Amino acid sequence: MSDLDLKILRAMRTRGHTPALERAAMFLGKAGNNGLGWLLAGGALAAADSRRRPAWATCAALGPVAIGLNYGIKLIVRRPRPVLKGLPPLGGAPSSLSFPSAHSTSAFAVATAMTRVDRRAAVAFVPAVALAAGRPYLGMHYPSDVAVGAVLGTALGALVPLPGGEPPLPPRQGPVPSRKDPLPADPPTPATSLPVSEEDR
């Protein structure tokens, strides 16, 4: 697994690089530091949508919370960041620990939670995927760091309680007749024959 990790990392660190793409990856990385970008995005949605404000606020807070939980795992695993000879990382990090990627964890946690609030928020997965892919692209993480971070973040975003959810609609019972609907007709009564007297015969 480590050999494959290194091969993919080296390929991402050496291929497809342009100044514009590197600047974009570094910008996304800075926006994802400490979950700040996700905090701002969730805060903006909370301000704009008063009906679901508590849920959006939870999504906003989830970014920094995911960073903290991720760091706890890093302290247990203690995997150092990758070092490629002649290919220094294109950026800095507050910690020398690599596994799992905090950027990936927080990005997928918030994107998953936002999608639970509103399915249209699935667009948040676009910057989440771009941010996560940018970590090995910049030489900051092994690809496995990012993959595991994405899995952890998705699980966290799916499990975190979101306040203010609307109760489900009751099951449909079928049409209820209105007052204007005609009442069903009474069933016909069977004809009864009168007894015939001896005189009528």
Region 85-97 average pLDDT: 88
Backbone angles phi and psi of 80, in degrees to 5 = -75, 160
Q: Mean of the per-residue pLDDT values for the chain?
A: 86
Number of domains in the chain: 1
| Cα–Cα distance measured from residue 111 to residue 122, given in angstroms and rounded to the nearest whole number | 7
Q: Is the separation of the CB atoms in 114 and 162 below 8 Å?
A: no
Phi-psi region at 76: left, alpha or beta (left = phi > 0; alpha = psi -120 to 50)? alpha
This model's pTM is above 0.85: no
- The fraction of the chain above a pLDDT of 90, given in percent, is 73
Q: Establish if 199 belongs to a structural domain.
A: no
- pLDDT tens per residue, range 102-111: 999 999 999 9
Q: What is the pLDDT of residue 189?
A: 59
Q: Establish if 177 belongs to a structural domain.
A: no
Give me 69's structure tokens: 């939980």
24-28, 43-47, 151-155, 189-193: which has the minimum mean pLDDT? 189-193
Q: Establish if 39 belongs to a structural domain.
A: yes
- The fraction of the chain above a pLDDT of 70, given in percent, is 81
Residue 6 has what DSSP assignment? H
Q: Establish if 128 belongs to a structural domain.
A: yes
Backbone angles phi and psi of 81, in degrees to 5 = -70, 155
DSSP assignments along 81-137, one per residue: PP-BTTB--SS--S-SB-SS-HHHHHHHHHHHHHHHH-GGGGGGHHHHHHHHHHHHH
107 is in which domain, residue-wise? 26-159
| Cα–Cα distance measured from residue 52 to residue 3, given in angstroms and rounded to the nearest whole number | 46
3-class DSSP assignment, residue 171: coil
Q: What is the pLDDT of residue 61?
A: 96
13-27, 62-76, 136-150, 153-167: which has the minimum mean pLDDT? 153-167
Region 155-174 average pLDDT: 71
Q: Establish if 126 belongs to a structural domain.
A: yes
Q: Establish if 175 belongs to a structural domain.
A: no
- Cα→Cα distances 120→111, 125, 142, Å: 11, 11, 31
Predicted confidence band of residue 163 (pLDDT cuts 50, 70, 90): confident
Q: In degrees, to the nearest 5, what angle opens at C-alpha 66 toward C-alphas 112 and 162?
A: 50
Q: Establish if 79 belongs to a structural domain.
A: yes
Q: Establish if 197 belongs to a structural domain.
A: no
